[in-house]
Amino acid sequence: ATMPPLLSAIANAGRHGVLVKSAVVMERLGQVDTVALDKTGTLTEGTPRVVDVRPLPAGGLDEGELLTLAAAAEHPSEHPLARAVVDAARERRLDLPVAQDFTSAPGIGVKAVVEGRTVEVGAPARLLDDPDGAVVEPAEELEASGRTAVLVVVDGTPAGLLAVADRLRPDAAATVAALTTLTGTAPVLLTGDNPRAAAHLAAEAGIEDVRAGLLPQDKMDAVKELEGAGRKVMVVGDGVNDAPALAAAHIGVAMGRAGSDLALETADAVIVRDELAAVPTTVALSRRARKLVV
Ligand code: ADP
Ligand code: MG
């Protein structure tokens, strides 16, 4: 027997490193007219690195102490920024104490008790209600150059900033261009990161529609708004902080390598072989298969 078109399209997508979970999904992929991309781990390589460790005077810690506390608190987190912080501590051969009472707030950061001290690590504007100039000025300076400023708060005092840098995926700009041609609409960037770092990266990738500073709920609302306006939206994300947006979309695609376990299970499709360029390829495969299905 010859294989039904949607099934051979699934097999073909598999050869391009995309796991499409059903024939229904394979068919829906071809209906997508708007693509929303997450930033960290999707548009970027998702292996950010700590490029600067800056203690703030109020904390009274040196670089090693600051990084030790931050890395201990981040250790249980799945977020790419958390891995960057832990790797930086390992490279400096710092001993990491075991954190207690770990909690993480998606799109905001983490909190844990490390050797009796309460340590919070995350977005400066999210951790502090009213950050003063001593935090805001160095943070904005880092962000203007495309870096993500990660704030470390110890026992309620801003103790330091970590500058994290991530690279655009090599195929990001080509993928954005291909998706624009294929769907007739330029992709949208949805990110929890700050507007300065987001704008910097979006410009490099050729994306104009940038929605930054979004919490997971806001990302979902942005998707619902687009769908409410009649769009068929595909969200591509790592699922760490965009699980609700992935679920709300017409099609949710998870990046396999950076993706959380939950995202891989609940997504409609998974990019197994870490190549963003497989997204437009898969949409095109669906379009072709749909023409053959009567
Ligand atoms: P993106 O949309 O770029 O993938 P996220 O929504 O995952 O970003 O996170 C948004 C912001 O929240 C990050 O830029 C960071 O400032 C902060 N954040 C979230 N989780 C963490 C964490 N574990 N450690 C440090 N910062 C975090
Ligand atoms: Mg993310």
Q: What integer pLDDT is reported at residue 294 of this predicted model? A: 60
Enter the pTM of the model: 0.87
Domains and CATH numbers, the chain: 5-45+167-292 (3.40.50.1000), 50-164 (3.40.1110.10)
Calpha distance 245→194 (Å, rounded): 18
Structure tokens at 257: 């390598």
Q: Is the ipTM of this complex over 0.85?
A: yes
- Asked if 283 and 30 touch (Cβ cutoff 8 Å), the reply is yes
Ligand 1 pocket, 109 CB below 6 A?
A: yes
**Ligand 1: centre distance to CA 186 (Å):** 24
What pLDDT was estimated at residue 252? 97
State the pLDDT at residue 21.
97
CA distances for 117 relative to 105, 122, 129, 154, 275, angstroms: 19, 16, 20, 7, 41
Q: Whose CA is nearest to atom 9 of ligand 1?
A: 107
CA distance 183 to 169: 21
Site to substitute for ligand 1 among 81, 87, 151, 240, most atoms within 8 A of C-beta: 81
Q: How far apart are CA 133 and CA 95, in angstroms?
A: 32
The residues near 156 (Cβ < 8 Å, ≥ 6 apart) are 118
Q: What is the pLDDT along the chain (294 residues), one digit of tens a residue?
A: 678 899 999 999 999 999 999 999 999 999 999 999 999 889 998 889 999 999 999 999 999 999 999 999 999 998 889 999 999 999 999 999 999 999 999 889 999 999 999 999 999 989 988 888 999 999 999 998 889 999 999 999 999 999 999 999 999 999 999 999 999 999 999 999 999 999 999 999 999 999 999 999 999 999 999 999 999 999 999 887 888 999 999 999 999 876 778 888 889 999 999 899 999 999 999 999 988 876
Token couple for 181: 């041609």
* Residue 133 structure tokens: 């100039």
Instruction: Answer yes or no: 38 catalytic.
Output: yes
Mutation to probe ligand 1, out of 79, 126, 148 (largest number of atoms < 8 A from CB): 79
Ligand 1 neighbour 80 (Cβ under 6 A): no
CA of 258, nearest ligand number:
2
Helix (H), strand (E) at residue 80: helix 80-91
Ligand 1 near 241 CB (within 6 A): yes
DSSP 4-67: PHHHHHHHHHHHTTEEE--HHHHHHHTT--EEEEEIIIIIB-S--EEEEEEE-GGG---HHHHH
Could you tell me the distance, in angstroms and rounded to a whole number, from the CA of residue 109 to the centre of ligand 1?
6
What gap in Å lies between CA 286 and CA 9, rounded to an integer? 7
Residue nearest to atom 21 of ligand 1 (CA): 109
Annotated catalytic residue within 33, 38, 130, 218: 38
User: Atom 14, ligand 1: which residue's CA is nearest?
Assistant: 193
Tell me the torsion sign for CA atoms 81, 260, 109, 117.
negative
Contact 261, 267 (CB under 8 A): no
Which ligand 1 atom is the nearest neighbour of the CA of 240?
A: 7
Three-state SS sequence of 150-187 = EEEEECCEEEEEEEEECCECCCHHHHHHHHHHHHCCCC
Q: How many residues does the chain have?
A: 294
Spatial distance between the Cα atoms of 34 and 116, rounded to a whole number of angstroms: 48
- pLDDT at 124 (0 to 100): 93
Helix (H, G, I), strand (E, B) or coil at 286: helix
Which of these, 172, 179, 177, lies nearest to 35 by C-alpha position? 179
Q: Is the CB of 38 under 6 A from ligand 1?
A: yes
Contact of 46 with 172, CB cutoff 8 Å: no
* Cα-to-centroid distance, 34 and ligand 2 (Å): 19
Residue 163 host element (H or E): strand 157-165
